Structure 1
Amino acid sequence: MNVLSRRVVALFLLSLLTACSQQIARQTCVPLTGEAQYCLSPTSTVLTDAQHQDINLTQMVNFTRGQDSHELLTQLELNPQRMTLVGLAPFGQALFTLVYDGQTLQSEQSLLLGGQFKAEYLMAIMQLIYWPTEQVNQQLSGGKLIAKTCNMALCKQLVDDNGALITLTYNNIDPWLAQVNIDIDAADIHLQINPIE
């Protein structure tokens, strides 16, 4: 098969993958632990606090649960009106797109992910990582996010009313530049998020 034929086949397969997606209206509040629930926060105050007009961040996300491990690329875009999170498979296939306008959360995701995949959890985790602690706590019920001393540049813990933990560690004091590790003890989940320059 020549190069042109391969490209035509690749474009055809990509169009099939993008056609096999579904639109889903998502909940803007998600349970993070047995007791703690987080409701997404608008982007306007974060951009003011960060002294940015717009933020575009490409990341490699490694997800481990028990013995299973997965990898995906994300593109996080913030402007005063909306937060957009796009997930791509390592070979570039679109897996999901989430758009949060401060009121509603719209999702388009590939049918390949199945009905159990809930990308809004990843968007909530992104806000835990990048939003100021006090703003997260305004949107959090049944728990509290606190800064902790540790041997990394920055550490935070979300502790719920029953003592369940989500731990966030950063290798840079500026979260937007940091490699971030997230451990969700109760679910045996570990995430490592690396910005890509």
Structure 2
Amino acid sequence: MDLLSRRIVALLLLSLLTACSQQIVRQTCVPLTGEAQYSLSPTSTVLTDAHQEINLTQMVNFTRGQDSHELLTQLELNPQRMTLVGLAPLGQALFTLVYDGQTLQSQQSLLLGEQFKAEYLMAIMQIIYWPTEQVNRHLSGGELMIKPCNMGLCKQLLDANGELMRLTYSNIDPWLAQVNVDIDAADIHIKITPIE
């Protein structure tokens, strides 16, 4: 195949790949209920001198009612940005989220449909991993609290009507823990397992 033919084939393949995804500017504040809302927080508030970058691969099991889905995620944090990439179990790219502290860019597969709101997943990741006091600074109409339990760590997110979200961690260090998130009002259960 000559050089011109190869270029044409490469351009066709590239156009097919880009036709399967869409670029979306997402909201950085997401409503959790009618009253509670969480606004994404910059990554610089989470990183320490010992951990200037965090890379975490996870298996995420998401259940809503009778529907269950599984995906792999790669979470990357550095002082400038938070990146969350989602892959189907067979490795197909589903979405990429990039939050730079001001804007949230999302590129997602058309297979996810317009109902998939990627900003919710990033907000839940911050609620899980960010320190409680940091989450509360960016939470309006609700409060995240640590509660006693027989696990490594337990938290609950409350609003004026009661519990919105329950978080249980298998380890006191959230970055090392298997995390379960229950949102009873929406019949949602999320299990996040780190992969080493």
Give the TM-score, by structure 2 length: 0.90
- Structure 2 residue 179 is the aligned partner of structure 1 residue 180: yes
SS state at 1:186 partner: helix
The answer for unaligned runs of 5 or more in structure 2 is: 1-11
Q: Residues of 2 paired with 1:154 and 1:15: CA distance?
A: 47
Alignment of 1:135-146 (within 5 A): 135-146=134-145
- The one-character-per-residue Cα deviations of 1:34-93 (angstroms, maximum 9, x if unpaired) are 321000000001002x83110000000000000000000000000000000000000000
Aligned partners of 2:156 and 2:163 also within 8 Å:
no
Cα 1:109–1:154 change in 2 (3 A) is same
Aligned partners of 2:76 and 2:82 also within 8 Å:
yes
- Structure 2 residue 58 is the aligned partner of structure 1 residue 63: no
SS state at 1:97 partner: strand
SS state at 2:122 partner: helix
Give the corresponding residue for 2:93: 94
Q: Residues of 2 paired with 1:192 and 1:15: CA distance?
A: 36
Q: Residues of 1 paired with 2:34 and 2:71: CA distance?
A: 27
- The one-character-per-residue Cα deviations of 1:78-126 (angstroms, maximum 9, x if unpaired) are 0000000000000000000000000000000000000010011000000
The answer for unaligned runs of 5 or more in structure 1 is: 1-11
Q: Tell me by how many angstroms 1:164 deviates.
A: 3.6
Aligned partners of 1:181 and 1:190 also within 8 Å:
yes
Give the corresponding residue for 2:42: 42
Q: Residues of 2 paired with 1:83 and 1:109: CA distance?
A: 16
Cα 1:14–1:95 change in 2 (3 A) is farther
Q: Residues of 1 paired with 2:70 and 2:168: CA distance?
A: 19
Alignment of 1:1-197 (within 5 A): 16=16, 19-48=19-48, 51-197=50-196
Instruction: Say what the alpha-carbon RMSD is for the aligned residues.
Output: 1.7
Q: Tell me by how many angstroms 1:151 deviates.
A: 1.2
SS state at 1:123 partner: helix
Aligned partners of 1:14 and 1:93 also within 8 Å:
no
Give the corresponding residue for 2:9: none
- Count of residue pairs brought into register by the alignment: 185
Cα 1:14–1:167 change in 2 (3 A) is farther
Structure 1 consecutive aligned stretches of length 4 or more whose deviation exceeds 4 Å: 12-18
Q: Residues of 1 paired with 2:82 and 2:118: CA distance?
A: 13
Q: Residues of 2 paired with 1:191 and 1:29: CA distance?
A: 21
Aligned partners of 1:154 and 1:173 also within 8 Å:
yes
Q: Residues of 2 paired with 1:13 and 1:147: CA distance?
A: 50
Q: Residues of 2 paired with 1:124 and 1:189: CA distance?
A: 15
- Asked which structure has the greater CA Rg, the reply is 2
**Amino acid of the structure 2 residue aligned with 1:47:** L
Cα 1:13–1:181 change in 2 (3 A) is farther
Aligned partners of 2:58 and 2:192 also within 8 Å:
yes
Identity score, percent: 85
